[in-house]
Structure 1
């Protein structure tokens, strides 16, 4: 999106592979390194004016935040867009969310024009969970409680639109948080959407937390991600949310800052079907 606007982009990548080569072919400068290597982060930040920071759901967030804050301050950065989770507070329900809050404080103390994109669960992450059982079993098997459970969701593309809007709008105030929710949908409606788009019978099978945890570990999920997601599933079940809950209402951030209406969950599922055809 930035390259399409003619904005020079430097991509800090963990390894050189087909993904980094795709970016290079589009015109991005590629710098290889690791978020936990402070010298590498300094090299990546030098000569830039704005940074998008999106650390994966694994250990090391606070170390990476400190290294990035140092590098950004030394480089004279005037805008850092920090991707965090929707609930970011010292009392948030998952360990990752609580670390997100501390990460926000580090960036604000650095005085680098930090803003925080507080995004909810990505459609893409939901899709990866569903693909573990739906194709072979015709079922969505997750520990999400009853079909009345309501989830706030968003498309990765819409999160990117907001990030681009913030990176290119220096007049927006620093040390502010922007919640990003593209849809609020019940588990029942999620199942119905998969069934309608895929033209097949799809059912929901509730699993236990332990079943999900064991399966996630077997698939190679890191311990940090398992702890975060296990706590998140419990929080969603306990919330007994509904679509009118103001806390999880669709936000206007995507349209106002990202310049487009949020992608619906049905659009996301149909796009995935088209790509696999």
Structure 2
């Protein structure tokens, strides 16, 4: 079998864009990359110019998944936060097993168990089990909330109102966060390691930061008045749906906000701390939240329509 990595979600979407990061990082290392995308466009053209083999397909079409997997040795599986994870997992597991794939790096969320606090996290756990039953050498990256998703949430109101409107309780609520780039570096480290323990899980937290510190970071970096407005779960849900967020993601995040508020109100919040796997496997210290905001400052200061388009 050739030494080619199939990278799913390679074009990049509105969340962390880890697939795009992983594809580009692997290509920089000279690795063979097959980029699984939904359509040909300027994003796939760029990957092709960097040396990727582009294949158009659909996670939920088992035949196109099978065609994408044929001839690869390893897979990066990153399914977006939307409906269809069970079907996508089954299709990928079947194709990977059929074609003798020996390594699959599976991106899920930090809490992955049957009693995890959100529906998506519980689905992630089932996805992990399917890949393990398939015997395709899975390793599970359990990443916490992306900086990019915080930026997307903030961009909705910050440019026009200077407000960070979220249902996170008071400003002492602490959030475990990570840069998608750091998650991607860990994924590349696992995909290119000489050996990998099948079934191993790698929890990833880059930093733990309070709502107050998030507000202060935006105010300092953007040099403008910034304040936090606590809103209700229902207000946030209505606003998110009105902006076009899919119902699956909204339900996941609504449950997540409740979980983080509850954790911060008890000693349970102490379980969140930065993890060393980012540096050990990814090869560099995790990016700080302030570094991220400085990199994305110009984008976050744009009017809501422009910021939403690039988040």
Instruction: Provide TM-score, normalisation by structure 2.
Output: 0.87
CA distance in 2, matches of 1:40, 1:193: 44
Partner of 1:123: 147
Q: Aligned partners of 2:268, 2:47: CA distance in 1, in Å?
A: 40
Q: CA deviation at 1:241?
A: 6.1
- CA-to-aligned-CA distance 1:44-87 (integer Å, 9 cap, x gap): 00100010000011111011001000001111111100000000
Alignment of 1:111 with 2:96, yes or no, is no
2:241 paired with 1:227:
no
Deviation at 1:170, TM superposition (A): 4.2
Match of 1:67 in 2: 91
The offset of 1:35, in angstroms, is 0.4
Q: What is the Cα deviation at residue 172 of structure 1? A: 2.4
The answer to whether structure 1 residue 162 and structure 2 residue 186 are counterparts is: yes
1:44 correspondence with 2:68? yes
Q: Out of 281, 293, 297, which is 1:269 matched to?
A: 293
Q: Distance in 2 between matches of 1:266 and 1:181?
A: 15
- 2:26 maps to which residue? 2
Distance 1:60 1:170, change over 3 A: farther
Q: How many residue pairs were aligned?
A: 277
Normalised to the residue count of structure 1, the TM-score between the two structures is 0.97
Tell me if 1:147 matches 2:171.
Answer: yes
Residue 20 of structure 1 and its aligned partner are, at CA, apart by 1.1
1:2-40, CA deviations, whole angstroms, 9 ceiling, x for partnerless residues?
001100100000111111111111110000010000010
Give the SS at the match of 1:34.
coil
Q: Whole-Å Cα distance in 2 between the matches of residues 117 and 181 of structure 1?
A: 11
Query: Which has the higher mean CA deviation after the structures are superposed, 267-276 or 98-107?
Result: 267-276
Gapped regions of structure 1 (runs ≥ 5): none
Q: What is the aligned partner in structure 2 of residue 193 from structure 1?
A: 217
Structure 2 unpaired stretches of 5+: 1-24, 302-311
The match for 1:27 is 51
Distance 1:193 1:244, change over 3 A: farther
- Contact 1:255–1:261, Cα closer than 8 Å, also in 2: yes
Tell me the residue number matched to 1:78.
Answer: 102
